[in-house]
Structure 1
Amino acid sequence: MCRVVDLQQAVLAKNDATAHTLRAELSARGTTVVNLLSSPGSGKTALLEGELLLARQRGVSVAALTADLATENDAVRLARSGVPVKQVLTDGLCHLEAGMLGRHLEGWLPDDIRLLFVENVGNLVCPASYDLGESLRVVLASVTEGEDKPLKYPTAFGLAHLVVVTKTDIAEAVEFDEAAFLANVAQVNPGVEVLLTSARRGVGVGALLDRVTAVADGGPVHAPVMARQEHLHDHEHGTHTHTAASGAMAQSGS
């Protein structure tokens, strides 16, 4: 008798196990990982560059790993901050996975790094399902993307520990409805903090670093409601309970 195996569930289960191990290893060495997710063109590289520069000025030991399907443009840009930066080319894969991250950190990440920013592939679909072993998951959206973005991508926004709005300097020009956006975020992720930023004007630059540093110091982390929802999956050895996000991620917000 043949049994149908859900390959996607098997892949996610393997990734969750790898992420759990990676999180423990990085935590033991005092490194807090921040996973940045957004659509292409959201402005996360510009904001991250500002945060890295500020971290260096404050004497915070920080590094950045950036992922793209092609080109090293973002790594070259981020390297201007003077902190350790590494580019990962995914060869067409639309997201990073915990195993990939772990392999790229081996032999590269300095031992004294306190904060590691991971700029995921520009995509709000695939990356949302993969825990990278992060302590903080940040989802960014620019004012040009529309107020209903959280409703269109409920998994990405629903699993976020923090939401960042970018390019607020042009909010009026594109008629961005801030109240509507905040209401939509609250609908999919009640209680999550939202930061308003403009890398071009310097508005809010440093707020993300402040929040991440607080988490690194043992401060509280918002627990996404979706991360606590349990789903039943059928696996080869029977039915078991599995969280929408990894169990370790859910624990980090408790």
Structure 2
Amino acid sequence: MKIKLEADVLKDNNLAANYNRETFNRNKTLVINIMSSPGAGKTTLLEETIKALGNDFTAAVIEGDLATDRDAERLRSLGVKTTQINTVGGCHLDARMIAKVLPEFELEDIDILFIENIGNLVCPSGYDLGQDYKVVVLSVPEGNDKIPKYPVMFRRTDLTIINKVDLLPYVSFNVEEAKQDLESINPAAKLKVLSAKTGEGLEGWVNWIKEAHSQCTKH
């Protein structure tokens, strides 16, 4: 019975995800679903990414949180169209939530839509939102055990970002070990190592986005 329930839930989600994907593709909007545990630095990364993209791209954000719109307000202060979704206890966004807020966006005028998912390394990995890419952010204070302990998350993502590398002198984290763990779980995944706070390595991430957008517009 548990299997049937899960199948039914995911069937409904996937129908909505397909609707979202068709909508995004029709408008040639690149959509990136960003996931992490709480406090890994998703919002700071988005702030600095949007600044780095400058006037070359029009970005927008769907901001997911259990409660409050504090992160959304940080992004709105940059002049970025940001819509808040509060799940009121739900541990992930789903495709139906995304579909419900899409009418708030003029997608034909948006080059890149970032979805900042709920801070959780379990639930968000199983839900297709209709995105082009799934990205997971791992911050060095979390330690080296997260990739092997949460393999499903890292197996289902296209890109892993190791964030807060400016803290490497102060925490116990081995970047090479993380690279090896990721390769053993998901050999096809890309990896970027950076500090959203200092800007170290940010250019590589921004260039990845630009390349992804160029591929998106070719469809």
- Please tell me the residue identity of whatever aligns with 1:157: F
Q: What is the CA RMSD across the aligned residues, in angstroms?
A: 1.7
SS in 1 for 2:118: coil
Quote the Cα distance in structure 2 between the aligned partners of 1:210 and 1:58. 15
Report the equivalent of 1:22: 20
| Structure 2 contact 24–107 (Cα < 8 Å) conserved | no
- In structure 2, do the counterparts of structure 1 residues 211 and 43 end up closer, same or farther at CA, with 3 Å as the change threshold? same
Compare 127-136 and 148-157 and name the one that shifted more. 148-157
What residue is the counterpart of 1:44 in the other structure? 42
User: What corresponds to 1:234 in structure 2?
Assistant: none
Q: Distance in 2 between matches of 1:67 and 1:106?
A: 17
Task: Report matched runs for 1:105-116 at 5 Å.
Answer: 105-116=102-113
Deviation at 1:110, TM superposition (A): 4.3
Answer with 75-84 or 96-105: which moved more.
75-84
- Following TM superposition, by how much is the alpha carbon of 1:148 offset from its aligned partner in structure 2, in angstroms? 2.0
> What is the SS of the residue equivalent to 2:101?
helix
Provide, for residues 153-182 of structure 1, a one-character-per-residue CA deviation record: whole Å limited to 9, x for no partner: 111100110000010000121021111111
Aligned to 2:153: 156
Higher Rg? 1
Distance 1:164 1:7 in 2: 33
Task: Report 1:60-209 matches (<5 A).
Answer: 60-209=57-206
User: Matches of 1:21 and 1:104 in 2, distance apart?
Assistant: 13
Give the Cα separation in 1 of the matches to 2:99 and 2:154. 25
Q: Does the CA-based 8 Å contact 2:35-2:116 persist in structure 1?
A: yes
Rounded Cα–Cα distance in structure 2 between residues aligned with 1:156 and 1:35 = 12
- Count of aligned positions: 217
Query: What does residue 211 of structure 2 align with?
Result: 214
User: Any idea what the Cα deviations from partners look like across 1:102-159, whole Å, max 9, x if unmatched?
Assistant: 1111133443101000000000111110000000100110001111211111111001
The Cα shift of 1:59 comes to: 2.1
Offset of residue 32 of structure 1: 1.0
The one-letter amino acid paired with 1:60 is: F
| Amino acid of the structure 2 residue aligned with 1:151 | P
% same residue: 36
| Whole-angstrom distance in 1 between the partners of 2:55 and 2:2 | 54
CA contact (8 A) 1:39 1:141 kept: yes
> The residue matched to 1:66 in structure 2 has which SS?
strand
Per the TM alignment, residue 9 of structure 1 is displaced from its structure 2 partner at its CA by 1.5
Map 1:220-239; keep pairs closer than 5 Å.
none
Q: 2 CA distance for matches of 1:107 and 1:179? A: 43
1:92, CA displacement in angstroms?
Answer: 1.2
Cα deviation for residue 4 of structure 1 reads: 7.9
Q: TM-score, normalised by structure 2?
A: 0.94
- Using the TM superposition, give the Cα deviation of residue 87 of structure 1 relative to its aligned residue in structure 2, in angstroms: 1.2
SS of 2:25's equivalent? helix
Gaps of 5+ in 1: 220-251
Change (3 A) 1:210 1:4: closer
